[in-house]
């Protein structure tokens, strides 16, 4: 789906399908308050897709005066870790949301075990000794019914005893499983005696070695929702086939009837979001870490200079869909530009410098200019920019043989230096290889803003005074992948084949001195260039700035 951000501005404020459901549930007395949950598995860092889910779950509850729980879906001890728990909490808070209470599926292990025993007693669950391979084979196919397990008709007593022994550690991983007894010929394959428990001898990050049997997603998620009295359990579309099972367990146990609703997961162009792939990028050094500013993780996006406001705006604009689609990454970039344009402080920095020398500058003359800090801020506070005989300007702001509509600096042409004088190019100095090393200009002393009559010229360029310039490192980030639709790359190709070799370009740049005193805490605008945020790698001697996004939509792939 191609998004046009401008069109989105005029969006009608009708209810989305989830809001309609909630409104009608409240109106019809199906529930009297709303309780949603965000249920991450602590097996990786959160990404922009999770941010969408967070904004949705918390946003819906806020809209209807309800609450949202944070629940860690920690049912697989092998992949989970407290490192992830901590980062997830930090990311949700950074996005601006507060959970009502914090829970762990592992807190419910005793209750889940009891409920499993209850289903056994009702003749609705049994211990199966088949191997994983046999179970898979005997499930049948979409067109063929499955084959019932030879262990399916064990007595309640035997099942209870075996299940207790599983819990007590008598069996090895994979030796036995607990299955729900539903229907091996069910058209929905997930209802063909789904697994409820498997044996995993592994230390859990919270329950330690207390358990060696762990509930499957389907026997943990809905039950956890029910324990917490979640009214609206919102998940992504791929879980729609799980819904009958979600409902089956709740019905058979006769517990609080939470309900599941599905929405389309967020996909973004030029981006991969599976945790497995993100982990691989980190482990194999394709990026510098989970918080590499090119990563779609929340910590990466934050380090890149995105604001929580811009991400919430993005989630709002994406809306909720019932069918899978791919959102253009430029919509996310548009949102951060929109937010930073209103709030960020302005400075000048020259990223690819060439020297400009003012030949008629009076010997020893001291001067300074006054730059707007933020045009949207009515206080009209100004920053001081020292001026002098020698300046850096951007190499691309000068052309020796320019096309017709080039309004920047050219031989014999005039341009205004932002907040300052008009200069005229008189001479170009080159080195032996023909590279321009210096542009010699004269200046018009009466053209400074506030000094005499305003004279206008077509072009304005930014600059930095050589004598007061501060050296900074800039990291110019671009899209991590060259291919927009990373989920539909050709067979036989690997997603890593599409890594953009130009996704990080490091440059030594010059900035006006006031930049280094900025304490706004958010990204700043380098005038005419883009938004940049100070990176955590900065030291007082070596400031580092990450480019959040350019001022205009632009994308180049280095060949």
Active site residues: 41, 265, 275
Tokens coding 279: 């982990």
Q: State in angstroms the smallest separation of the CB of 278 from ligand ATP.
A: 8
Measured from the CB atom, the residue of 128 and 218 that comes closer to Mg ion is 218
Sheet with 125-128, edge to edge strand ranges: 125-128, 177-180, 195-199, 213-215
Instruction: Tell which residue, 200, 181, 192, 206, has the closest CA to residue 85.
Output: 206
Q: State in angstroms the smallest separation of the CB of 485 from ligand ATP.
A: 15
Which residue bears the tokens 């019809």? 28
Q: Which stretch binds ligand ATP (CB under 6 A): 45-53, 92-100, 204-212, 357-365?
A: 45-53
Task: Specify the pairing of strand 353-358 against strand 544-550.
Answer: unpaired
Site string for Mg ion, 30-49 (x = CB under 5 A): -----------x--------
- How open is the CA angle 180-185-186, to the nearest 5 degrees? 70
Instruction: Tell which residue, 461, 444, 440, 447, has the closest CA to residue 358.
Output: 440
Measured from the CB atom, the residue of 41 and 280 that comes closer to Mg ion is 41
Size of the site for Mg ion (CB under 5 A): 1
* Residue whose beta carbon is closest to ligand ATP: 49
Q: Verify binding: residue 273, ligand ATP, rule CB under 6 A.
A: yes
Residue of 53, 159, 231, 420 interacting with ligand ATP (CB under 6 A): 53
Q: Verify binding: residue 216, ligand ATP, rule CB under 6 A.
A: no
Instruction: Tell which residue, 43, 445, 57, has the closest CA to residue 233.
Output: 57
Measured from the CB atom, the residue of 92 and 350 that comes closer to ligand ATP is 92
Site string for ligand ATP, 363-382 (x = CB under 6 A): --------------------
Q: Verify binding: residue 341, ligand ATP, rule CB under 6 A.
A: no
Residue of 34, 49, 177, 294 interacting with ligand ATP (CB under 6 A): 49
Three-state DSSP at 325 gives coil
Residue 91's CB: how many other CB atoms inside 10 A? 23
Q: State in angstroms the smallest separation of the CB of 296 from ligand ATP.
A: 9
Q: State in angstroms the smallest separation of the CB of 200 from Mg ion.
A: 17
Q: How far is Cα 202 from Cα 403, in angstroms, rounded to an integer?
A: 69
Strand partners, 263: 236
Which residue bears the tokens 């008629």? 360
Q: Which does 40 bind (CB under 5 to 8 A by kind): Mg ion, ligand ATP, none?
A: ligand ATP
Q: State in angstroms the smallest separation of the CB of 500 from Mg ion.
A: 28
Q: State in angstroms the smallest separation of the CB of 188 from Mg ion.
A: 20
Q: Show Cβ contacts of residue 99 under 8 Å, excluding neighbours closer than 6 positions.
A: 38, 58, 68, 69, 70, 92
Measured from the CB atom, the residue of 35 and 273 that comes closer to ligand ATP is 273
Q: How far is Cα 273 from Cα 279, in angstroms, rounded to an integer?
A: 10
Residue of 18, 31, 35, 39 interacting with ligand ATP (CB under 6 A): 39
- How open is the CA angle 68-51-205, to the nearest 5 degrees? 70
Q: Which does 273 bind (CB under 5 to 8 A by kind): ligand ATP, Mg ion, none?
A: ligand ATP
Task: Specify the pairing of strand 463-465 against strand 460-461.
Answer: unpaired
- How open is the CA angle 532-537-543, to the nearest 5 degrees? 60
Q: Which does 353 bind (CB under 5 to 8 A by kind): ligand ATP, Mg ion, none?
A: none
Q: Tell me the C-alpha to C-alpha distance, in Å, between residue 304 and each of 11, 55, 292, 294, 478.
A: 29, 20, 8, 7, 11
Q: How far is Cα 415 from Cα 461, in angstroms, rounded to an integer?
A: 7
Instruction: Enumerate residues 231-270 that contact ligand ATP by CB under 6 A.
Output: 235-236, 265-266
Q: How far is Cα 525 from Cα 537, in angstroms, rounded to an integer?
A: 19
Q: State in angstroms the smallest separation of the CB of 3 from ligand ATP.
A: 16
**DSSP assignment string, 258-280:** -EEEEEPPP-BTT----HHHHHH
Q: Which does 266 bind (CB under 5 to 8 A by kind): Mg ion, ligand ATP, none?
A: ligand ATP
Instruction: Phi first, then psi: give them for residue 26, nearest 5 degrees.
Output: -70, -45
Measured from the CB atom, the residue of 484 and 550 that comes closer to ligand ATP is 484
Measured from the CB atom, the residue of 237 and 466 that comes closer to ligand ATP is 237
Instruction: Enumerate residues 58-117 that contact ligand ATP by CB under 6 A.
Output: 73
Q: Which stretch binds ligand ATP (CB under 6 A): 22-30, 49-57, 359-367, 461-469?
A: 49-57
Within 13 Å, how many C-alpha atoms sit on residue 423's CB side? Answer: 31
Instruction: Enumerate residues 67-106 that contact Mg ion by CB under 5 A.
Output: none
Q: How far is Cα 547 from Cα 523, in angstroms, rounded to an integer?
A: 9
Measured from the CB atom, the residue of 40 and 543 that comes closer to ligand ATP is 40
Q: State in angstroms the smallest separation of the CB of 310 from ligand ATP.
A: 17
Q: State in angstroms the smallest separation of the CB of 106 from Mg ion.
A: 15
Measured from the CB atom, the residue of 40 and 300 that comes closer to ligand ATP is 40
Q: Verify binding: residue 274, ligand ATP, rule CB under 6 A.
A: yes
Instruction: Tell which residue, 348, 358, 365, has the closest CA to residue 423.
Output: 358
Residue of 50, 192, 242, 410 interacting with ligand ATP (CB under 6 A): 50
Q: Verify binding: residue 41, ligand ATP, rule CB under 6 A.
A: yes
Q: Which does 220 bind (CB under 5 to 8 A by kind): Mg ion, ligand ATP, none?
A: none
In the complex, which residues of this chain contact ligand ATP (CB under 6 A)?
39-41, 49-50, 52-53, 73, 235-236, 265-266, 273-275
In the complex, which residues of this chain contact Mg ion (CB under 5 A)?
41
């Amino acid at each position: 789906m191609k998004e046009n951000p401008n069109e989105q501005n005029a969006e009608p404020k009708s209810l989305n399908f989830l809001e309609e459901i909630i409104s009608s549930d409240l109106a019809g007395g199906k529930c009297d308050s709303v309780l949603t949950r965000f249920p991450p598995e602590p097996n990786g860092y959160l990404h922009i897709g999770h941010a969408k889910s967070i904004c949705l779950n918390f946003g819906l509850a806020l809209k209807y005066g309800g609450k949202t729980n944070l629940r860690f879906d920690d049912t697989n001890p092998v992949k989970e870790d407290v490192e992830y728990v901590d980062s997830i909490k930090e990311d949700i808070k950074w996005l601006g949301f507060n959970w009502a209470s914090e829970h762990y599926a592992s807190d419910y292990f005793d209750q889940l075990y009891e409920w499993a025993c209850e289903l056994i007693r009702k003749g609705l669950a049994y211990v199966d000794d088949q191997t994983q391979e046999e179970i898979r084979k005997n499930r049948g196919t979409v067109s063929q019914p499955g084959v019932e397990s030879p262990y399916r008709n064990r007595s309640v007593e035997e099942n209870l005893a075996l299940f207790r022994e599983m819990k007590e550690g008598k069996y090895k991983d994979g030796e036995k499983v607990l299955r729900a007894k539903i229907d091996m010929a069910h058209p929905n394959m997930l209802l063909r005696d789904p697994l409820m428990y498997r044996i995993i001898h592994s230390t859990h990050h919270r329950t330690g070695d207390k358990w060696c049997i762990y509930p499957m997603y389907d026997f943990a998620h809905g039950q956890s929702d029910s324990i917490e009295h979640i009214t609206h359990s919102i998940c992504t579309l791929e879980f729609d086939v799980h819904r009958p099972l979600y409902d089956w367990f709740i019905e058979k146990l006769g517990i609080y009837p939470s309900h599941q609703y599905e929405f389309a997961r967020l996909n973004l162009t030029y981006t991969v979001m599976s945790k497995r792939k993100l982990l691989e990028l980190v482990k194999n050094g394709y990026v510098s870490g989970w918080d590499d500013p090119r990563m779609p993780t929340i910590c990466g996006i934050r380090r890149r200079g995105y604001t929580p406001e811009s991400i919430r705006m993005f989630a709002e604009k994406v809306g909720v869909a019932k069918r899978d689609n791919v959102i253009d990454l430029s919509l996310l970039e548009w949102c951060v530009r929109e937010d930073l344009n209103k709030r960020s402080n302005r400075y000048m920095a020259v990223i690819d410098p060439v020297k400009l020398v003012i030949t008629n500058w009076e010997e020893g003359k001291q001067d300074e200019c006054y730059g707007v800090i933020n045009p949207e801020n009515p206080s009209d506070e100004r920053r001081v920019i020292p001026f002098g005989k020698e300046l850096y300007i951007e190499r691309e702001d000068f052309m020796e043989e320019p096309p017709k509509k080039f309004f920047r600096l050219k031989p014999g042409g005039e341009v205004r230096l932002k907040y300052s004088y008009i200069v005229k190019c008189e001479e170009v100095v080159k080195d032996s290889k023909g590279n321009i090393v210096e542009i010699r200009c004269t200046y018009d002393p009466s053209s400074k803003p506030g000094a005499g009559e305003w004279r206008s010229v077509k072009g304005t360029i930014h600059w930095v005074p050589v004598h007061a310039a501060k050296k900074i490192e800039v990291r110019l980030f671009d899209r991590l992948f060259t291919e927009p639709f990373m989920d539909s790359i050709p067979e036989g190709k690997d997603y890593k084949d599409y890594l953009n070799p130009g996704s990080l370009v490091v440059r030594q740049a010059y900035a006006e001195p006031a930049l280094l005193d900025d304490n706004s805490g958010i990204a700043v605008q380098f005038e005419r260039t883009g938004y940049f945020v100070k990176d955590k790698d900065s030291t007082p001697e070596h400031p580092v700035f990450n480019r959040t996004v350019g001022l205009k939509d632009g994308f180049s792939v280095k060949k």
